[in-house]
């Protein structure tokens, strides 16, 4: 009996030991599972921390940039001025209002030359740095630059003038070697003078086309009226541009607005025109006779021109472009009516009717004759259309003249 009890007790003891073992195993599994879970969670948290750190670095960078920008925006603006002369670390500068100052120049400004544009501190007027204002963009914005399509065939008459301009402009650009061989220097440019609408611009464009030159058109009156204070600089920039885009022809229409004789240079406006004119002379003196830049100037008022512009070495070839004679008028009307649908029109019969007409007026006659036909619902032009157009242009011309005479 006692033995039986003891056996039972032993069996119970061994059962509980087995249970303890199983419990221990399952606990350790639970622990290892939760450890793995915690490790995974830890990894996720670590990744999140890394991401947040990256984001925070990015935000800090953005903040730095924004606060830098804000600081820059708070700084006072710098003045743009022009250097008149410079000497060591000092320079005389001219502010946009015309006042001149002797100022300190910062080391960063580098070597300054007269005419350079610089940034200047508003209070101290110290020169901070040099800036490049004469970009191509400026010149392209202010003057007409093109590759003209007008050819010699589009010019009626003007045979002598065409030949002269070909000799002076076209030949040196196309065959500079010939001039070197013979040992002569071709003119740097020509002055075309004569009444309005006689084909001066047309001649300049045709020679640019035949030499494949860049055609830069400047109007003298605009140079002095539109670009007050900037005329001389613009002239410099235009010639820089021409040199960079050679072969080039600089065509200056209404040169009299710049180069008219002046008795005195009293007012600031006159001084400004004079400065622009001086810059033009300096440019003309500064380039080679056989270089690839040529100047063609045009005027209706040769009588008032300052002789300095036509001195040897400058625009020393003068070509008069006058109103066309009978043959010239016929050639011009042929040019402008070549695409018109004419019916019974004898062009030579119209020529005597257009006495004293310029090329521009003859072109206007052709356009008006076309309009008379359109008004009558016709698709062809008759001699009567031309005669009515001639009358119309003559009356307009007389009205213009009487307005000028007052």
Q: Which residues bind ligand ATP (CB under 6 A)?
A: 155-158, 196-202, 253, 298, 300, 332, 335, 359-360, 363
Distance CA 179, CA 189 (A): 15
Nearer to ligand ATP, 118 or 390 (CB): 390
Instruction: Write down the least CB distance from residue 233 to ligand ATP, Å.
Output: 25
Q: Which of 281, 286, 292 is nearest to 315 (CA)?
A: 281
Nearer to ligand ATP, 200 or 314 (CB): 200
Instruction: Write down the least CB distance from residue 386 to ligand ATP, Å.
Output: 16
SS3 category, 377: coil
In contact, 142 and 234? CB cutoff 8 Å:
yes
In contact, 238 and 216? CB cutoff 8 Å:
yes
Distance CA 231, CA 82 (A): 13
Nearer to ligand ATP, 109 or 309 (CB): 309
Instruction: Write down the least CB distance from residue 364 to ligand ATP, Å.
Output: 8
Instruction: Write down the least CB distance from residue 332 to ligand ATP, Å.
Output: 4
Structure-token pair, residue 88: 């060591």
Distance CA 235, CA 227 (A): 11
Structure-token pair, residue 180: 């070197």
DSSP 153: G
Nearer to ligand ATP, 188 or 336 (CB): 336
Nearer to ligand ATP, 202 or 224 (CB): 202
Residue nearest to ligand ATP (CB): 359
Instruction: Write down the least CB distance from residue 323 to ligand ATP, Å.
Output: 10
Nearer to ligand ATP, 109 or 333 (CB): 333
Instruction: Write down the least CB distance from residue 253 to ligand ATP, Å.
Output: 5
In contact, 161 and 319? CB cutoff 8 Å:
yes
Instruction: Write down the least CB distance from residue 379 to ligand ATP, Å.
Output: 23
Nearer to ligand ATP, 157 or 172 (CB): 157
Token look-up 């290892």 returns 32
**Terminal C-alpha separation, the chain:** 158
Burial of 79 (0-12, 13-18, 19+ CB in 10 A): middle
Nearer to ligand ATP, 41 or 159 (CB): 159
In contact, 223 and 235? CB cutoff 8 Å:
yes
**In DSSP terms, which residues pair with 342 in a beta bridge?**
381
Instruction: Write down the least CB distance from residue 203 to ligand ATP, Å.
Output: 7
SS3 category, 353: helix
State phi, psi for 383 to the nearest 5 degrees.
Answer: -60, -35
């Amino acid at each position: 009996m006692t033995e039986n009890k003891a056996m039972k007790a032993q069996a119970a003891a061994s059962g509980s030991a087995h249970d303890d073992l199983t419990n221990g195993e399952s606990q350790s599994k639970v622990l290892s599972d939760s450890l793995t879970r915690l490790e995974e969670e830890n990894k996720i948290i670590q990744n999140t921390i890394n991401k947040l750190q990256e984001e925070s670095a990015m935000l800090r960078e953005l903040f730095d940039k924004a606060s830098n920008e804000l600081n820059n925006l708070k700084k006072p603006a710098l003045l743009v001025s022009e250097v008149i002369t410079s000497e060591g670390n000092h320079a005389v500068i001219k502010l946009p209002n015309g006042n001149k100052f002797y100022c300190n120049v910062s080391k960063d400004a580098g070597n300054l030359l007269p005419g350079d544009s610089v940034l200047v501190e508003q209070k101290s007027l110290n020169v901070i740095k040099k800036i490049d204002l004469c970009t191509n963009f400026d010149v392209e914005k202010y003057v007409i630059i093109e590759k003209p399509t007008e050819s010699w065939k589009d010019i009626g008459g003007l045979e002598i003038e065409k030949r002269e301009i070909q000799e002076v402009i076209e030949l040196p650009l196309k065959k500079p070697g010939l001039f070197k061989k013979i040992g002569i220097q071709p003119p740097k440019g020509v002055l075309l003078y004569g009444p309005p609408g006689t084909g001066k611009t047309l001649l300049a464009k045709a020679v640019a086309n035949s030499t494949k030159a860049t055609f830069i058109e400047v109007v003298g009156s605009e140079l002095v009226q539109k670009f007050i204070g900037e005329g001389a600089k613009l002239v410099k920039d235009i010639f820089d541009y021409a040199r960079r885009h050679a072969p080039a022809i600089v065509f200056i229409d209404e040169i009299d607005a710049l180069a008219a004789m002046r008795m005195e240079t009293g007012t600031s406006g006159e001084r400004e025109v004079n400065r622009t004119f001086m810059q033009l002379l300096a440019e003309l003196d500064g380039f080679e006779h056989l270089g690839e830049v040529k100047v063609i100037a045009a005027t209706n008022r040769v009588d008032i021109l300052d002789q300095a512009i036509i001195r040897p070495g400058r625009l020393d070839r003068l070509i008069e472009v006058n109103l066309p004679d009978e043959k010239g008028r016929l050639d011009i009307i042929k040019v402008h009516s070549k695409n018109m649908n004419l019916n019974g029109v004898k062009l030579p019969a119209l020529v005597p009717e257009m006495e004293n007409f310029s090329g521009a007026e003859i072109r206007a006659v052709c356009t008006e004759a076309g309009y008379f036909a359109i008004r009558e619902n016709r698709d062809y032009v008759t001699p009567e259309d031309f005669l009515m157009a001639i009358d119309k242009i003559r009356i307009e011309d007389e009205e213009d003249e009487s307005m000028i005479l007052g």
